Amino acid sequence: MRFLGRALQLFGLVVLPLSMVLELSKLLGRDFGVSDMVIMLVAGSAAFLMGRIIEGYGRG
């Protein structure tokens, strides 16, 4: 459980900077847009929060 929680936290921390790098370098080959960045922000935050909750259950 703790490993899954840590992995989700790491994923949540990596998603937003990765999306910014992909946007700036135009590696996606299309307009990424602000709405997609907001979706990735929400997904990263949700993954981090869920990882924190799961890690907390794993400790107890």
pLDDT digits (tens, 9 = 90+) for 20-36: 887 788 776 666 667 77
- Residue 30 to residue 28: CA distance in whole angstroms: 6
- Residue 24 to residue 50: CA distance in whole angstroms: 28
Positions in the chain whose pLDDT score sits under 50: none
- pTM, rounded to two decimals: 0.78
If one counts every other C-beta atom within 10 angstroms of the C-beta of residue 47, the result is 19
